Amino acid sequence: MAATEEQQFPLPKILTYPASAPPSLIAQGAEGRLYKTTHLESGLPCALKYRPSKPYRHPILDARLTKARIAAEAKVLDRCYREGVRVPAVYALDAAAGWVMIEWVDGKPVRQGINDWLGERPEDGTPAASEDETPLVDLMKRIGEAVGNLHRTGVIHGDLTTSNMMLKPWASRPSNAGDKAKAVEGDIVLIDFGLATQSSSDEDRAVDLYVLERAFASTHPRAERLFCHVLDSYKPSYKKAPSVIIKLEDVRMRGRKKSMLG
């Protein structure tokens, strides 16, 4: 880590111990920072999510909030992992110190994979007549299944976007697909559970889908018409999914009304 970066973003104590590789700052958000580092004992690459204290908050409230948020995120991740949802495993946690250490997911965000696929496609998103869109459609289906799996366990993500999904390359399926198809290959791993809650209500699940639908339309307007494949594969993914899709129509209607009223 560069000296100036270190002054601007002082490391949490856990990252000041000697390790096989120095930590690197991957992302700096409004709430926290994400470092790539290695697990102290096993040397495995991992991600350390750190929520530094906020000087503008009352210290007691700040300590309580930080601890509660890190603990809540770790708890949800752990629950998902044990239920077989593809999320990073939790390796270690110190909620009072504001960090959780999780599995490092090799790969790239789904957002980047889709954009790499779309490449130079025109604004209206029409593919060339000769283009076989199957790999992209398959990715959309895997997204629907991943969200369905998550909802099946009673977890609402709260911030579903294609940036909060990683594409982890398939290790056991050596691919002979072309470069373009490779851009959208891989298992979906859901990340960033900072806003996650536990709920099994149709309404909460439908809102989670709606958030994804809106985010998808604004991030990938050229692929918007393919979002139906996400819903198609979500529908059979667990028993209550069909009623969630029906509820989604109400949520959309409310969304439209709200945007008309400003």
Ligand X SMILES: Nc1ncnc2c1ncn2[C@@H]1O[C@H](COP(=O)(O)OP(=O)(O)OP(=O)(O)O)[C@@H](O)[C@H]1O
Decide if 68 contacts 93 (C-beta within 8 A).
no
Helix, strand, coil percentages for the chain (3-state, nearest 5): 45, 15, 40
* Whether 208 is catalytic: no
Residue 219 sits in the site that holds ligand X (CB under 6 A): no
| CA distances, 26 to each of 48, 64, 104, 139, 208 (Å) | 10, 26, 12, 25, 26
- Binding string to ligand X for residues 63 to 92, with x set by CB under 6 A, is what? -------------------------x----
Give yes or no for a contact between 203 and 225, defined as CB atoms under 8 angstroms apart.
no
Q: How far is the CB of 142 from ligand X (least distance, A)?
A: 18
Q: How far is the CB of 146 from ligand X (least distance, A)?
A: 15
User: Quick check: 34 binds ligand X (CB under 6 A)?
Assistant: yes
47 near ligand X, judged by CB under 6 A: yes
And the tokens for 197?
Answer: 């809650």
If you search the block for the tokens 């859901």, which residue do you land on?
Answer: 190
Which helix (H) or strand (E) segment holds residue 107: the answer is none
Applying CB under 6 A, does 143 fall inside the site for ligand X?
no
Of 186-205, binders to ligand X (CB under 6 A) are 191-192, 194
**In the set 9, 19, 26, 199, which binds ligand X (CB under 6 A)?**
26
CB of 131 to ligand X, least distance (A): 28
Whole-number minimum distance, CB 145 to ligand X, in Å? 20
Interface positions, 97-136, toward ligand X (CB under 6 A): 102-105, 109
The H or E element that residue 165 is part of is strand 165-168
Q: CA 258 to CA 173: how far, in whole Å? A: 46
- Rounded-to-integer distance, Cα 35 and Cα 160, Å: 21
CB of 31 to ligand X, least distance (A): 3
Considering only 10, 13, 16, 27, the residue that binds ligand X (CB under 6 A) is 27
Out of 10, 29, 59, 242, the only residue in the binding site for ligand X (CB under 6 A) is: 29
Minimum CB–partner distance for residue 91 and ligand X (Å): 10
Picking from 136, 120, 140, the residue whose alpha carbon sits closest to that of residue 128 is 120
How far apart CA 262 and CA 129 sit, in angstroms, is 40
- Closer to ligand X at the Cβ: 31 or 131? 31
Q: Is 74 or 241 the residue whose CB approaches ligand X more closely?
A: 74
- AA letter at 194: G
If one asks whether residue 213 binds ligand X (CB under 6 A), the answer comes out as no
The catalytic position among 159, 187, 204, 232 is 159
Helix (H) or strand (E) holding 158: none
| In the complex, residue closest to ligand X by CB | 194
Element holding 106 (H helix, E strand): none
Q: Hey, which residues are catalytic here?
A: 159
By the criterion CB under 6 A, which residues form the site for ligand X?
26-27, 29, 31-32, 34, 47, 49, 88, 102-105, 109, 163-164, 191-192, 194
